[in-house]
Amino acid sequence: MALLEVKNLGISFGGLRAVDGFNVNIEKGALYGLIGPNGAGKTTVFNMLTGVYQPTVGTFTLDGENLTGKSTLEIAHKGIARTFQNIRLFAKMTVQDNVKVGLHNHVKYGIASGVFRLPGYFKDEKYLDERAKELLDVFGLYGERDYLASNLPYGKQRKLEIARALATGPKLLLLDEPAAGMNPNETAELMETIHFVRDTFDMTILLIEHDMKLVSGICEEITVLNFGQVLAQGKPSDVLNDPKVIVAYLGE
């Protein structure tokens, strides 16, 4: 059984069918790409898989559990985390506190314990600090843990966003155009980071990307969306040479 199974997923906004009949199966541990021209519906798929949008039709399951119609919070607890095309960090919080936000579902103390600083509060806060430092160390950000997130260079902000997503303890990580705005050196480092995350955390990754060098360099399979519908699926070498895909990107 695939980790993620998506069947006939679709959504309409008024009379516009933004995504229509989207199907994909992603095996555990896979590095999978979702590509297509601007406006093809890629981020809309991510928004449905994370509960931002509720599908009009279709279903999706994670590890055999149907998550269709669940809230964003419920889906996060079940094991889907994401990053965004435009980096969404808490800019005026420290690097370490950004990761601690991702660890929120590991906190057990209640409001009263937090307000009155009861023993349970300090125990959980100590765990969160230690776990956040461990993740930052893994991503080479430990030395900047007390910096404001806004003061990190662009490439490290991307790393921090991925670290925060991993802090939730996901089974599936969704990366929305992680290479957007990066120079070639930063993109090459990002490719290494994505491989590192998959191997170190035994993670399944689904990414949206326009950088075809990155896609062909790290993805084992890809799906192409065009006007909300699946245009092609398969190995990158086959899909990227498909005449239909070339026309969709470049025109006739």
Distance separating alpha carbons of residues 196 and 52, to the nearest angstrom:
28
How far CA 175 is from CA of 36, 94, 233, 237, in Å, comes to 15, 22, 19, 21
Residue 23 identity: N
Residue 16: Cβ-neighbour burial (10 angstroms; 0-12, 13-18, 19+)? exposed
Q: What's the number of CA atoms in the CB half-sphere (13 Å) around residue 102?
A: 28
Render the burial of 65-93: b for 16+ CB within 10 Å, e for the rest.
eebbebeeeebbebbbbbbbbebebeeee
Which residue from 194, 235, 189 is spatially nearest to 218, judged by alpha carbons?
194
**Average pLDDT of the residues in 79-99:** 95
Residue 241: Cβ-neighbour burial (10 angstroms; 0-12, 13-18, 19+)? exposed
pLDDT at 116 (0 to 100):
45
CB 58 within 8 A of CB 22: yes
Residue 98 identity: N
Q: What letter does residue 153 receive in the DSSP assignment?
A: -
In the chain, ranges of CATH 3.40.50.300 domains: 1-79+170-252
Which residue from 34, 42, 36, 80 is spatially nearest to 61, judged by alpha carbons?
80
pLDDT at 88 (0 to 100):
93
**Average pLDDT of the residues in 165-187:** 94
Give me the DSSP letters along 92-140.
TSBHHHHHHHHTGGG----HHHHHTT-HHHHHHHHHHHHHHHHHHHHTT
> Tokens standing for 104?
């929120």
Which residue from 160, 11, 168, 151 is spatially nearest to 96, judged by alpha carbons?
160
The answer to whether residue 250 scores a pLDDT higher than 80 is no
pLDDT in tens, 3-58: 999 999 999 998 899 999 999 999 999 999 999 999 999 999 999 999 999 999 99
pLDDT in tens, 120-136: 666 778 889 999 999 99
Query: What angle in degrees, to the nearest 10, is found between the helix axes of 154-167 and 184-200?
Result: 20
pLDDT at 114 (0 to 100):
55
pLDDT at 123 (0 to 100):
77
Query: pLDDT above 90 covers what percent of the chain?
Result: 85
pLDDT in tens, 71-88: 999 999 999 999 998 999
**Average pLDDT of the residues in 219-224:** 97
Residue 115: Cβ-neighbour burial (10 angstroms; 0-12, 13-18, 19+)? exposed
Q: What dotted CATH number matches 1-79+170-252?
A: 3.40.50.300
Phi-psi region of 209 (alpha: psi -120 to 50; beta: other; left: phi over 0): beta
Torsion of CA 77, 28, 212, 136, to 10 degrees: 50
